[in-house]
């Protein structure tokens, strides 16, 4: 029988302590639903004693139907100067009316004497009294032994005494916390082994990532028999973040042979990771294990040749297990295998005997040498491939465009205006547009000129625009690379342009973006007609 591990998510509380992260109540409710759908067992909603937002969350979450997750409220042991009955923090936890309450207390004597300014014995009373009091009002009390590992290393006897008091007071689970995130994996087992001789109730682990070991430390704890793991989605949290559940969950499930969520729920990990980043307004980390865009991306020709025969040659798991997918990148490192893989992906008739494949590979490497980067602009690469094969047509002809940037007295920012003339099937169209900068104005005018001919361009949005200086020693005459990411209601695609003139580089990327959209729609319509 597989060992079962409970997952305790603290994204909504500890995760929001990350720099640049702020969630509205509605955001927290949506994330809670997604976490429940993923299959986590506990969702720590916040600290009701600290702010009105968290108080409102605990009121609103009662109206949200959850499949399995238990909502936990977080707080601390009572104020040393007040009794449990008169402590506002404990009162707020009770008022939250949740089935699970998590409180933290001091395990490191340094924090007791220097932060709380009380005696070591008084701190033990705080832990005992708080847990015993809250036990009357909640089904389950989880005790977070804050700074436990640091406290153990400095004063082993006292650190152990704090958790024994918590157990005696009625805690249902004791969580050992590496609050400063400084522990290394080899230090974890002997300490847990010592704790297990003393504590008979379930144990948990709560690790921070300041030494880049939060995931490793959590997994070491699981190997030692700990069956309650705390962390955040995508590892967000204060300073360097918390233990990353997007790595912990699949590692437990796929590497350690444990069970924490169902196999079907595990397939939702990729989407859950993206969903939470979107709600938190965070950019997804491309190189994040398991759920990053690059987690199963291959660039070297030898690697691609191997995975086409057997993906296990360069992939430690099947990406589908976590809802991700295999990707093959194209660059100056590409070989025929890369092109054949991409041709299959684009549904292009190409094999190793196709004569154009040599020209295609040569042109790719020449353009990469000039500064083009197709690994992040697969829309441009698909167009390039079809142009070489003679399977591309022009959807319009540029007659010309003009950009005007004017700075007048009293204007806060310069005014940008673009005019453009294009021909579609011999019909001339002239438009003008204002924008937030010259490229935005050009983008607006360009699409406005084409919409009367291609109404589906109304769906297209430019969602990202990046400029990279390729040879900075040339100063303002340096060659620039522009990467554009566009999207419609169904998909996203990247395009690229390179020139010493940033307007020209942007124009190249814009043209590819529009042509890619029109080409894909044309192919879709053709397929539907044939079906």
Per-residue pLDDT of the chain (531 residues; tens, 9 = 90+): 578 999 999 999 999 999 989 998 989 999 999 999 999 999 999 999 788 899 999 999 999 999 999 999 999 999 999 999 999 999 999 999 999 999 999 999 999 999 999 999 999 999 999 999 999 999 999 999 999 999 999 999 999 999 999 999 999 999 999 999 999 999 999 999 999 999 999 999 999 999 999 999 999 999 999 999 999 999 999 999 999 999 999 999 999 999 999 999 999 999 899 889 888 878 789 899 999 988 887 776 677 677 777 777 878 999 999 998 887 765 545 556 666 776 666 666 666 666 677 777 777 777 777 777 776 678 888 887 778 777 778 899 999 999 999 887 766 788 899 999 999 999 999 999 999 889 999 999 999 999 999 999 999 888 888 887 876 666 666 788 888 888 888 888 889 899 989 999 999 999 999 999 998 888 888 777 766
Q: Is the CB of residue 304 less than 8 Å from the CB of residue 63?
A: no
Calculated CA dihedral for residues 517, 518, 524, 530, nearest 10 degrees: -170
Kindly state whether residue 381 falls inside one of the protein's structural domains.
no
Cα–Cα distance for residue pair 153/191, rounded to 1 Å: 9
Residue 155 belongs to what domain range? 6-261
Q: Is the CB of residue 136 less than 8 Å from the CB of residue 176?
A: no
Q: Per this entry, what is the length of the chain?
A: 531
* Continuous segment of H or E residues that includes residue 492: strand 492-499
Give the 3-state secondary structure of 502-515.
HHHHHHHHHHHHHH
Kindly state whether residue 143 falls inside one of the protein's structural domains.
yes
Q: What are phi and psi of 515, to 5 degrees?
A: -65, -35
Cα–Cα distance for residue pair 126/77, rounded to 1 Å: 6
Kindly state whether residue 434 falls inside one of the protein's structural domains.
no
Kindly state whether residue 361 falls inside one of the protein's structural domains.
no
Could you tell me the end-to-end alpha-carbon distance of the chain, in angstroms, rounded to an integer? 49
What is the pLDDT at residue 334? 56
Cα–Cα distance for residue pair 413/117, rounded to 1 Å: 55
* Continuous segment of H or E residues that includes residue 266: helix 263-266
Q: What is the tally of helices (H) and strands (E) in the chain?
A: 18, 16
Cα–Cα distance for residue pair 282/321, rounded to 1 Å: 24
Which residues, including other chains, have CB under 8 Å from residue 335's CB and lie 6 or more apart? 301, 302, 304, 305, 361
Token pair of 168, please?
């005696």
Cα–Cα distance for residue pair 89/478, rounded to 1 Å: 59
* Continuous segment of H or E residues that includes residue 431: strand 427-435
Token pair of 246, please?
């997007």
Cα–Cα distance for residue pair 47/88, rounded to 1 Å: 12
What is the pLDDT at residue 358? 72
Cα–Cα distance for residue pair 376/372, rounded to 1 Å: 10
* 232: helix, strand or coil: strand
Token pair of 303, please?
């690697």
Residue 199: CB atoms within 10 A of its CB come to 19
Cα–Cα distance for residue pair 210/22, rounded to 1 Å: 21
Calculated CA dihedral for residues 492, 483, 22, 10, nearest 10 degrees: 60
Contacts of 470-475 with C-beta under 8 Å, sequence gap 24+, read 470/371, 470/498
Q: Which of 66, 37, 68 is nearest to 267 (CA)?
A: 37
Domain harbouring 220, CATH code: 3.20.20.70
Kindly state whether residue 224 falls inside one of the protein's structural domains.
yes
Kindly state whether residue 385 falls inside one of the protein's structural domains.
no
Q: Is the CB of residue 153 less than 8 Å from the CB of residue 184?
A: no
Cα–Cα distance for residue pair 495/346, rounded to 1 Å: 15
Kindly state whether residue 42 falls inside one of the protein's structural domains.
yes
Q: Is the CB of residue 126 less than 8 Å from the CB of residue 103?
A: no
Calculated CA dihedral for residues 509, 449, 398, 498, nearest 10 degrees: -10
Cα–Cα distance for residue pair 44/70, rounded to 1 Å: 8
Q: Which of 515, 519, 511 is nearest to 442 (CA)?
A: 511
Kindly state whether residue 278 falls inside one of the protein's structural domains.
no
Q: Which of 361, 273, 320, 347 is nearest to 37 (CA)?
A: 273
Which residues, including other chains, have CB under 8 Å from residue 254's CB and lie 6 or more apart? 317, 321
Q: Is the CB of residue 301 less than 8 Å from the CB of residue 52?
A: no
Q: Which of 51, 144, 149, 60 is nearest to 97 (CA)?
A: 60
Sign of CA dihedral 245, 247, 253, 256: negative
Q: How many domains does the chain have?
A: 1
Cα–Cα distance for residue pair 229/7, rounded to 1 Å: 5
Q: What are phi and psi of 351, to 5 degrees?
A: -140, 175
Q: Is the CB of residue 60 less than 8 Å from the CB of residue 12?
A: no
Q: Which of 326, 325, 334, 324 is nearest to 299 (CA)?
A: 334
Q: Is the CB of residue 332 less than 8 Å from the CB of residue 365?
A: yes
Cα–Cα distance for residue pair 12/22, rounded to 1 Å: 10
């Amino acid at each position: 029988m597989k060992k079962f591990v409970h997952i305790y998510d603290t994204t909504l509380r500890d995760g929001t302590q990350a720099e640049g992260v702020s969630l509205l109540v509605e955001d927290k409710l949506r994330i809670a639903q997604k976490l429940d759908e993923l299959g986590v067992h506990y969702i720590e909603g916040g600290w009701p004693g600290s702010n009105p937002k968290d108080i409102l969350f605990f009121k609103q979450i009662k109206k949200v139907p959850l499949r399995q997750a238990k909502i936990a409220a977080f707080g601390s042991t009572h104020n040393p100067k007040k009794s449990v009955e008169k402590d506002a923090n404990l009162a707020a936890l009770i008022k939250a009316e949740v089935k699970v309450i998590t409180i933290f207390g001091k395990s490191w004597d340094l924090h007791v004497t220097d932060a709380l300014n009380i005696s070591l014995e008084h701190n033990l009373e705080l832990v005992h009294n708080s847990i015993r009091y809250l036990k009357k009002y909640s089904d389950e009390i989880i005790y977070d032994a804050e700074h436990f590992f640091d406290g153990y290393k400095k004063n082993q006897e006292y650190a152990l005494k704090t958790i024994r008091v918590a157990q005696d007071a009625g805690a249902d689970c004791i969580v050992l916390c590496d609050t400063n995130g400084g522990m290394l994996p080899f230090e974890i087992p002997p300490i847990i082994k010592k704790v297990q001789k003393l504590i008979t109730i379930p144990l948990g682990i709560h690790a921070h990532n300041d030494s880049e070991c939060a995931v490793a430390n959590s997994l070491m704890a699981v190997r030692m028999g700990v069956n309650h793991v705390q962390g955040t989605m995508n590892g967000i949290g204060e300073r360097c973040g918390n233990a990353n559940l997007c790595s912990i969950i699949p590692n437990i499930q796929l590497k350690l042979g444990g069970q924490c969520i169902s196999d079907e729920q595990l397939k939702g990990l990729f989407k859950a990771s993206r969903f939470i980043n979107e709600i938190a307004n965070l950019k997804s980390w491309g190189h994040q294990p398991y759920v990053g865009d690059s987690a199963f991306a291959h660039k070297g020709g030898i690697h691609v040749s191997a995975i086409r025969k057997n993906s296990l040659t360069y992939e430690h798991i099947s990406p589908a297990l976590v809802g991700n997918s295999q990707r093959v990148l194209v660059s100056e490192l590409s070989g025929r295998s890369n092109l054949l893989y991409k041709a299959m992906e684009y549904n292009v008739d190409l094999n190793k005997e196709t004569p154009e494949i040599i020209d295609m590979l040569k042109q790719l490497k020449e353009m990469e040498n000039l500064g083009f980067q197709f690994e992040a602009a697969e829309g441009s690469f698909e167009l390039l491939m079809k142009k070489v094969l003679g399977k591309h047509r022009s959807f319009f002809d540029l007659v010309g465009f003009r950009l005007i940037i004017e700075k007048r007295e009293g204007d806060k920012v310069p005014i940008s205006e673009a005019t453009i003339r294009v021909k579609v099937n011999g019909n001339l169209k002239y438009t003008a547009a204002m924008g937030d900068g010259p490229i935005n104005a050009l983008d607006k005018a360009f699409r406005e000129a084409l919409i009367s001919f291609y109404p589906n361009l109304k769906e297209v949005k430019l969602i990202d625009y990046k400029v990279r200086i390729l040879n900075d020693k040339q100063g303002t005459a340096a060659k620039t690379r522009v990467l554009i990411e566009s999207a419609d209601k169904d998909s996203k695609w990247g395009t690229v342009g390179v020139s010493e003139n940033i307007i020209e580089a942007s124009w190249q990327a814009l043209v590819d973006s529009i042509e890619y959209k029109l080409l894909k729609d044309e192919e879709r319509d053709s397929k539907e007609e044939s079906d």
